[in-house]
Structure 1
């Protein structure tokens, strides 16, 4: 449904998109992860037909995103990273305008307002960041489109509203929607995405099933020994650092976890602690590897 095929759009060296390809099928949530300036928003603008690729092709529903942008926009619910709405409009006026433009259902709008409640009679210029984000989310999803392009969708939302957003994403996935979402909020991406791509300086450095990404990351462990001498001996044995009775190490290099466990049977081990096995560690792991290579 969403397809980027070897797309390049260069603004400056290491700024833009460089030979980027990925596909998002119906019923899939695809996460785009990377720091500011990595190219996430550029890819989404490419799909919206807001910028033209130097080379390659972007399509949604089989329509060319640049040459057939009108057809593409009919299929897409778009949430930009920066919410710019007329300051003297009220939230109610903005939603009325969107309802007319998209011929959306009043019932759908009310369901979304129940999920993301805010004072609709407040003028945009008086709204907080969170209120503007809720307004934008309601406006985006009330279109009930087959495709959603979401750029930092939970920016400014409190934890409760973030959970409501994740519930909505799960519902839309089950309804067969194709969703591309960029975000810096790692727990949100891990909970909601089926696949993810890590992008740096305009290039995808890894793309995989979200759970495979997490499982394949190196894990850090800290072991506390009964005696400091044992900790020192074990640290020398595996070539790691020691702090008093504790030794920390990372699996995935010279020794596997099974090998470490076998070695530990000869020692008086008091505790073993592992680092959180989450997407943020994967992100730091891959970016660390890229910077050291």
Structure 2
């Protein structure tokens, strides 16, 4: 049984699309990445799956519980660790008081170890904490009851690089112990390092579901070549060559067949050639250049209104911060 099964999930805010016809599964023990820029629909999808928003249509299951049934959804949340993109922490409480409240709802079997691990001072008021320290509180709350499923929305926001590494190690440990993870991010390196598969969201539609290795291959190769002759730019403005730069060296991203690349270079005397994997950003941007079909073959209609950011839409729907 999948840890998450999302079936044709749609959420509209009036005429404005949040997400539309989103379908995917997260298998047990898998780290699945939700990848897309702010406003793509990541937070809307997560909050709708958790039952904080009512779907316009479609549905799904979390740990086998129907997300459209309030009783079933509540049972699922008892076994879920949720980290919102903007945690709704009670600023007048101390960190300890906030975590005590969360512990009363779901338990705290790993609390002490997590507090030590993230070097969190529980005695301070949340209002007096920095952005990074507030994120630590939210992370401890999400992980401390050893959930079977973690839904993490921009989890490393505000964390310094060392703590980001600590977070990544924590995720891997929990997966080794059998947990499943849905991780929403617009940080490509984070997704590549942690996720098994990635769902790319564009304008509320799921543009593709791919393994990280397949996503990398989509980006093609970064080519840098130095030749003996003067370069005719028109020679390199061919199908398969993108982001062309012509100077002392010619550089471009190659997404075509290798035989065609060899034919292209055969007209010159090559003095130096460097071919490496293109950055992951190149692969990601292929979903945002022009019309990209969805995984079922159609990209779906364009939005009828301005979607804005997920955070602004969710603010209208209510914070749900303590319902983690």
Alignment equivalent of 1:147, drawn from 146, 149, 152: 149
Shift of 1:275: 6.5
Shift of 1:65: 1.4
Q: Report the number of matched residues.
A: 285
**Deviations 1:186-242 (CA, angstroms, capped at 9, x unpaired):** 101100000101111110111111111111223332212234x2x33xx44343656
**Counterpart check, 1:57 vs 2:59:** yes
2:235: which partner in 1? 237
Q: Are the counterparts in 2 of residues 242 and 248 from structure 1 also a CA contact under 8 Å? A: yes
Bigger mean CA offset, 13-22 vs 186-195 = 13-22
Bigger mean CA offset, 170-179 vs 273-282 = 273-282
SS at match of 2:58: strand
Matched residues in 2 for 1:112 and 1:290: separation?
44
Which has the larger helix fraction?
A: 1
Matched residues in 1 for 2:166 and 2:50: separation?
26
The 1:187/1:31 distance shift into structure 2, 3 A limit, reads: same
Q: Are the counterparts in 1 of residues 207 and 292 from structure 2 also a CA contact under 8 Å? A: no
**Counterpart check, 1:73 vs 2:84:** no
Matched residues in 1 for 2:118 and 2:167: separation?
8
The 1:134/1:55 distance shift into structure 2, 3 A limit, reads: same
Matched residues in 2 for 1:59 and 1:258: separation?
47
TM-score (norm 1): 0.89
SS at match of 2:286: helix
1:209: which partner in 2? 211
Shift of 1:44: 0.5
Q: Are the counterparts in 2 of residues 76 and 149 from structure 1 also a CA contact under 8 Å? A: yes
1:190: which partner in 2? 192
The 1:284/1:274 distance shift into structure 2, 3 A limit, reads: farther
1:85: which partner in 2? 89
The 1:55/1:83 distance shift into structure 2, 3 A limit, reads: same
SS at match of 1:157: coil
1:284: which partner in 2? 285
Matched residues in 2 for 1:158 and 1:191: separation?
17
Shift of 1:92: 1.5
Alignment equivalent of 2:166, drawn from 164, 170, 193: 164
1:102: which partner in 2? 106
Shift of 1:173: 1.5
